[in-house]
Structure 1
């Protein structure tokens, strides 16, 4: 391995700028309204950038397509066949090689997030034994992990070796072939690109710069053009006279892809490793002829020395570029997260504003208006003509039945029966209609109270939730289930008596002794009304035929009964109107009770809701300002990144 002095403290003028941006992000995460998972994700990325900025280690990642010779190149650097060459090598993972003086080792992170170290019994239990080996060499352990079904269970692999690859404080990362179609390979290579300070791209001479490689160079490695070196491998598979042309063609193509001055290092790592292993240990670095032609070890050693020199010369700028890249990604994530949060908060505020409780007075007035409307339009509370007509028809039918057939022959008895029917019917119909109105008014009041309680509960819950409280729905004020007071019906009885007295004094009813007899009978049945009807019926008493007597009886009785019915209907309508007024008064009382009980609480919640709207507005403004600041800071970091790239090419190599 080519010796190279270690370079401690690679930090340069970029360190204060990075620290300032990181402090800003740290303060932002404590001051901006973000979801917990978003804040945790940004803090994790912040920690990663800070750790990378504080780490003096130079990370060199080796990229290439499958079978391009990545593992062979690393084995040549190590001067041993440590990494197996297999189609399954580094399946779904990256292999990180670090230097350790005292002893070799291996750390595996499994797909179950279990960390195993080699050598250990737990590792042996997990990996088992490789047939034909004793399992005590690092090569055997790596072969077992990388070339068997275990490879599908590996999520991370660290190799510790006593060889200081490419100089001191250098970590080398062997990445999966990004041309493999298996899930996860390209993603792992892209993640390694984000962490790499220097990129070594392995380009096989027999298949140089395929479309897949070009896509990777212009995609994940687009930020590495100033810290990228190309190792042109497998030259031993070409005729020697083809080498210059191949180098020229690849160099020209790289320039077309944006690499202004590409570092292209041709070699044959596989042949060089064979020669190094065949040479005596003391002469391992000396050129040695290979089979059928000049040696491949010496050119490889030159390539290795050039890589070591580039790593040392551009160490500071390369690490700075990585840190700037990670910081730029962090600031982009901050911008995206805060801008997304601003959009979420804006939507929340719009929804909050749209779902506010209506004005409490308007809410109660609306309920009271609907309740009054239902009371005012209910048939039982309006004494509708249909109900009255049915009552009249029923009474007429009952009277016809009372004088049917030979019943009219006993005029006194018929008069007594008709008087009783009229009195009972009108009194009963009055009571029924008024009581039905009272009962219906009670039902409507109860329904209206239940509706008010439900609507108020929903609105209260919504307002409490929008105000950020978890207060349970308040209990609705109690509503008495008792019906409104029944109107006094004594006036109806008085009206019946008054109607009878008025009719008795009419000239139309002065008919002689028969009338007096009928009146006497009627007065015994029902005061007032009985007298009237009895007088009418008594006047009809005579020797006429049954049908004629019945007809005369009915002709005289019907106008009086109709007038009585009209009077009673009018009085009933007055009673129903009083019931309706009482129902309206109950509605007004319940409205006042709600207003008295909950006005202060609603005002408090409304004020809390308004404060929450103001808080959301402030959070929206803060998130918007944070996104804009992150965008400006990212532009500053990108400018520093460009300046670092220019400095790396324009200054002395030892001070990039």
Structure 2
């Protein structure tokens, strides 16, 4: 007797090995952190394996190329021409033939999940046929369902017959011809192979062992080679002396494919069907083609009985192996995804947040300080000196020197306004540049902060909005303090006007007074110098002496004003430094605690990833080991199949 491995028999409990594997998979899917869609797909497959293991029905699938005689063979099993010829079949589903006591019937499940039965008014309305239960009308109904546009709407098709097909508890699956180029037919045949317990392969004797058939045997039916029978049809189309030779050729070819002891059953189902359906044709002792067909049918039924337990076990083990492979693949895929995330977190080398802010602040201060120092060392440019010289000369040109009081006042005003404008320009230009550097530094801080720490948030599994760069402008800096410029200009004039070198009597005092009324400081100095020249000198001589005495004073004023501009720029630099420090404090106050939290979350996430990777590795390894155990069970089951010659 066949050793029981998977099921104790119809309706009994599962074998502990299969049940144990299925329990492991079920528990794994409940605990493993797979994505919901992938987990749902695996659970669906798990339920399918459980259902198949609990179903004692033997499923015998019939495979064959188009025009191989497959439909004729099935009609001979049914004892009537019920199924249409395969050459006209356009169905996109597998037809299941089952035994039912009483009358014939058909059950159709449509793509819309509607269930229609023949005979019924709903079925008649759907097919456009009359509502009738006459046997001949069933043939018309199947013709309409299988060979018209209705076939596009059929998802499942079941034909019920009172003829007991190949023994009790057996369903016969009529698959589309796998050589047909019609869309989806080969895919349906492949899907039927995964669900079939036993396979009947129809091989036409007149065109045996085509490359398409060999390909199907070596591919989708590879696992069925030890539970496969080959029906050599259309044997009647060969001469008597050719039949034995064809049988031998087919048998040898099957052995070359690795099928050690092929079950090869030659017959002529077409001729047998003629005799079965001819009125009164069948006698008490069938002969010829009918007798040969009935012997083949009996042999197939015998194989179905002998190999039932092994065949169902092989199917369940095959489905279980596929499920374990899917679990292993899913675990490996999920492990790869987790590893990529973990590597991303590990590669995220972030500085300490205060150190990050300090480094930015120092870079920005150094950059601004360098430019402001350069501006301070440059002072008032030489071009400015040349421009002032031109203005002074123009102020005493021609007979303008003749009115000494007016000329002295003009020169005093020109010098004072020019030097002050130059000082303001130098300080304002430097302040504007400092503002640009501060704005650029703020943008750099926001950009670097976003790059570094939003990556941390993203890898920690959070959606995080990084800050925008603060709007820092030059007007945020302190206004340049030029009070020292004014004081210096006045002090220079006072100091020089008090010198004995300039005291030349009342003319000097008058000139100094006139100059001081127009502009303090510089006016006093220049007025005193000019007063000494009032008298009988010519305009040219007075102008030359005036310019000779005024130029050193103006040059000294340039130098002192340049030093004061440098002092003002130091105050601008201090303002930039304060603004940078304020911006650093703003980031620290607003984001310091958040960065600490994200860092802790990142550490927690990495720990979770490490645990998840380890769990996926363990699951994949476990699925692989169990798949090897199932393969061993499958091999053991094959070795327990009884040898027919020993029966």
TM-score by length of 2: 0.91
Instruction: Please tell me whether the aligned partners of residues 269 and 300 of structure 1 are also in contact (alpha carbons under 8 angstroms).
Output: yes
- 2:577 equivalent among 577, 581, 584: 584
- Superposed counterparts of 1:311-390, under 5 Å: 311-355=304-348, 357-378=350-371, 382-383=375-376, 385=378, 388-390=381-383
Provide the C-alpha distance between the structure 1 equivalents of 2:349 and 2:104, rounded to a whole number of angstroms.
69
Report the CA distance between 1:571 and its aligned residue.
Answer: 0.7
Name the counterpart of 2:26.
26
- Superposed counterparts of 1:467-482, under 5 Å: 467-473=460-466
Provide the C-alpha distance between the structure 1 equivalents of 2:336 and 2:319, rounded to a whole number of angstroms.
26
Provide the C-alpha distance between the structure 1 equivalents of 2:237 and 2:165, rounded to a whole number of angstroms.
26
Instruction: Please tell me whether the aligned partners of residues 66 and 86 of structure 2 are also in contact (alpha carbons under 8 angstroms).
Output: no
Instruction: Please tell me whether the aligned partners of residues 485 and 561 of structure 2 are also in contact (alpha carbons under 8 angstroms).
Output: yes
Q: Please say which of residues 509-518 and 184-193 is displaced more in the overlay.
A: 509-518
Report the CA distance between 1:159 and its aligned residue.
Answer: 1.2
Instruction: Please tell me whether the aligned partners of residues 460 and 605 of structure 2 are also in contact (alpha carbons under 8 angstroms).
Output: yes
Provide the C-alpha distance between the structure 2 equivalents of 1:649 and 1:533, rounded to a whole number of angstroms.
133
Name the counterpart of 2:141.
141
Report the CA distance between 1:197 and its aligned residue.
Answer: 0.4
Name the counterpart of 1:68.
68
Provide the C-alpha distance between the structure 2 equivalents of 1:212 and 1:571, rounded to a whole number of angstroms.
99
Name the counterpart of 1:124.
124
Relative to structure 1, the CA distance from residue 584 to residue 445 in structure 2 (aligned partners, 3 Å threshold; closer, same or farther) is same
Relative to structure 1, the CA distance from residue 552 to residue 477 in structure 2 (aligned partners, 3 Å threshold; closer, same or farther) is closer
**Count of aligned pairs:** 641
Provide the C-alpha distance between the structure 1 equivalents of 2:364 and 2:353, rounded to a whole number of angstroms.
17
Instruction: Please tell me whether the aligned partners of residues 380 and 422 of structure 2 are also in contact (alpha carbons under 8 angstroms).
Output: no
- Superposed counterparts of 1:404-483, under 5 Å: 404-438=397-431, 441-442=434-435, 444-446=437-439, 448-449=441-442, 451-453=444-446, 455-457=448-450, 459-473=452-466, 483=476
Relative to structure 1, the CA distance from residue 174 to residue 285 in structure 2 (aligned partners, 3 Å threshold; closer, same or farther) is farther
Name the counterpart of 2:614.
621
Instruction: Please tell me whether the aligned partners of residues 145 and 151 of structure 1 are also in contact (alpha carbons under 8 angstroms).
Output: yes
Relative to structure 1, the CA distance from residue 576 to residue 319 in structure 2 (aligned partners, 3 Å threshold; closer, same or farther) is same
Provide the C-alpha distance between the structure 2 equivalents of 1:196 and 1:437, rounded to a whole number of angstroms.
88
Relative to structure 1, the CA distance from residue 462 to residue 532 in structure 2 (aligned partners, 3 Å threshold; closer, same or farther) is same
1:13-71 deviations in Å (ceiling 9; x for gaps): 97211111111111111222212221111111111111110100000000111111111
Name the counterpart of 2:96.
96
Q: Please say which of residues 506-515 and 558-567 is displaced more in the overlay.
A: 506-515
Report the CA distance between 1:150 and its aligned residue.
Answer: 2.9
Report the CA distance between 1:513 and its aligned residue.
Answer: 4.5
- Answering whether residue 520 of structure 2 is matched by residue 540 of structure 1, we say no
Helix, strand or coil at the partner of 1:9: coil
1:151-200 deviations in Å (ceiling 9; x for gaps): 34434322122222111110100111111122212111111111110011
Instruction: Please tell me whether the aligned partners of residues 59 and 195 of structure 2 are also in contact (alpha carbons under 8 angstroms).
Output: yes
Name the counterpart of 1:267.
267
Report the CA distance between 1:223 and its aligned residue.
Answer: 0.9
- Superposed counterparts of 1:223-238, under 5 Å: 223-238=223-238
- 1:286 equivalent among 284, 287, 312: 284
Provide the C-alpha distance between the structure 2 equivalents of 1:533 and 1:390, rounded to a whole number of angstroms.
23
Report the CA distance between 1:12 and its aligned residue.
Answer: 8.7
Name the counterpart of 1:291.
none
Instruction: Please tell me whether the aligned partners of residues 372 and 569 of structure 2 are also in contact (alpha carbons under 8 angstroms).
Output: no
Report the CA distance between 1:246 and its aligned residue.
Answer: 2.3
Name the counterpart of 2:4.
none
Helix, strand or coil at the partner of 1:199: strand
Instruction: Please tell me whether the aligned partners of residues 287 and 297 of structure 1 are also in contact (alpha carbons under 8 angstroms).
Output: no
Name the counterpart of 2:395.
402
Report the CA distance between 1:510 and its aligned residue.
Answer: 4.3
Report the CA distance between 1:242 and its aligned residue.
Answer: 2.5
Report the CA distance between 1:341 and its aligned residue.
Answer: 1.3
Instruction: Please tell me whether the aligned partners of residues 379 and 566 of structure 2 are also in contact (alpha carbons under 8 angstroms).
Output: no
Instruction: Please tell me whether the aligned partners of residues 436 and 473 of structure 2 are also in contact (alpha carbons under 8 angstroms).
Output: no
Relative to structure 1, the CA distance from residue 26 to residue 652 in structure 2 (aligned partners, 3 Å threshold; closer, same or farther) is farther
Relative to structure 1, the CA distance from residue 286 to residue 215 in structure 2 (aligned partners, 3 Å threshold; closer, same or farther) is farther
Name the counterpart of 1:607.
600
C-alpha RMSD over aligned residues: 3.0
Query: Could you list the runs of 5+ residues in structure 1 that have no partner in the other structure?
Result: 1-6, 289-293
Helix, strand or coil at the partner of 1:382: helix
Instruction: Please tell me whether the aligned partners of residues 276 and 285 of structure 1 are also in contact (alpha carbons under 8 angstroms).
Output: no
Q: Please say which of residues 93-102 and 217-226 is displaced more in the overlay.
A: 93-102
Report the CA distance between 1:453 and its aligned residue.
Answer: 4.3
Name the counterpart of 1:562.
555
Instruction: Please tell me whether the aligned partners of residues 432 and 474 of structure 2 are also in contact (alpha carbons under 8 angstroms).
Output: no
Provide the C-alpha distance between the structure 2 equivalents of 1:534 and 1:136, rounded to a whole number of angstroms.
137
Provide the C-alpha distance between the structure 1 equivalents of 2:624 and 2:416, rounded to a whole number of angstroms.
95
Provide the C-alpha distance between the structure 2 equivalents of 1:382 and 1:391, rounded to a whole number of angstroms.
15
Report the CA distance between 1:147 and its aligned residue.
Answer: 2.4
Report the CA distance between 1:113 and its aligned residue.
Answer: 5.2
Provide the C-alpha distance between the structure 1 equivalents of 2:133 and 2:535, rounded to a whole number of angstroms.
143
Relative to structure 1, the CA distance from residue 261 to residue 136 in structure 2 (aligned partners, 3 Å threshold; closer, same or farther) is closer
Instruction: Please tell me whether the aligned partners of residues 33 and 619 of structure 1 are also in contact (alpha carbons under 8 angstroms).
Output: yes
Name the counterpart of 1:189.
189
Provide the C-alpha distance between the structure 2 equivalents of 1:535 and 1:322, rounded to a whole number of angstroms.
122
Provide the C-alpha distance between the structure 2 equivalents of 1:620 and 1:40, rounded to a whole number of angstroms.
20
Provide the C-alpha distance between the structure 1 equivalents of 2:186 and 2:46, rounded to a whole number of angstroms.
25
Provide the C-alpha distance between the structure 2 equivalents of 1:578 and 1:221, rounded to a whole number of angstroms.
89
Instruction: Please tell me whether the aligned partners of residues 376 and 382 of structure 1 are also in contact (alpha carbons under 8 angstroms).
Output: no
Report the CA distance between 1:284 and its aligned residue.
Answer: 4.5
Q: Please say which of residues 615-624 and 482-491 is displaced more in the overlay.
A: 482-491
Report the CA distance between 1:396 and its aligned residue.
Answer: 2.3
Report the CA distance between 1:379 and its aligned residue.
Answer: 6.4
Q: Please say which of residues 324-333 and 99-108 is displaced more in the overlay.
A: 99-108
Relative to structure 1, the CA distance from residue 651 to residue 573 in structure 2 (aligned partners, 3 Å threshold; closer, same or farther) is farther
1:459-513 deviations in Å (ceiling 9; x for gaps): 5443333222335446888979863333543332322233223323545434454
Instruction: Please tell me whether the aligned partners of residues 537 and 557 of structure 1 are also in contact (alpha carbons under 8 angstroms).
Output: no
TM-score by length of 1: 0.90
- 1:551 equivalent among 544, 555, 562: 544
Relative to structure 1, the CA distance from residue 191 to residue 557 in structure 2 (aligned partners, 3 Å threshold; closer, same or farther) is same
